[in-house]
Amino acid sequence: MTSPQPIWSLCVSVDRVRGLSPPSPVSLTSTHTPMRITIRRAQRGLGSLLPRQANAGRPGALGNPFVVGRDGSREEVIAKYRRWLWAQLQKPGSPQERELRRLVAQARAGELELLCWCHPLPCHAEVVRGALLWLAGEEEAPPS
């Protein structure tokens, strides 16, 4: 049985990942449960996040392990991150899967603001936002 395709590509063109087709672009709201997920530039002092905020940067489970320059251009490291995050989601119980599920629950309870150091530049937090919306849709989908 093939896993469903993730539908969380935002501003990133990607190649095939482990035989799965690249996802289609996604809107910024879930089709079933209204969720508002925004991205904002992180400030110093991530230890003092507000209840509606989450760290999407380094350090953290959702931080991008790929670095602009060392691992490619900004677009390339975002594409690498997207493939890496999808691979992590294929591992039940991975830190990334647990964190994304926690954030889906937080977003459903109200607005969620993702914080990353590189925003407003093109940023992997856009991939995180798309993954949250995809995961929310998967959780709401009736079993097939």
> pLDDT tens digits for 69-105?
999 999 999 999 999 999 998 898 999 999 999 999 8
Q: Which three-class secondary structure state does DSSP give residue 106?
A: helix
Cβ atoms of 112 and 37 within 8 Å: the answer is yes
| pLDDT of residue 17 exceeding 90 | no
Q: How far apart, in Å, are the Cα atoms of 133 and each of 14, 47, 48, 77?
A: 19, 25, 25, 21
The whole-angstrom separation of Cα 85 and Cα 62 is 8
Q: What percent of the chain lies above the pLDDT cut of 70?
A: 69
Pairing of the two strands 37-41 and 53-55: unpaired
DSSP notation for 41-55: E--S-GGG--TTEEE
Cβ atoms of 114 and 35 within 8 Å: the answer is no
Give me the half-sphere count of Cα atoms (radius 13 Å) on the Cβ side of residue 33: 20
Mean pLDDT of the chain: 74
The whole-angstrom separation of Cα 16 and Cα 18 is 6
> Is the N-terminal amide bond of 143 cis, ω within 30° of 0?
no
Taking residue 1's Cβ as centre, other Cβ atoms within 10 Å add up to 4
pTM of the model: 0.71
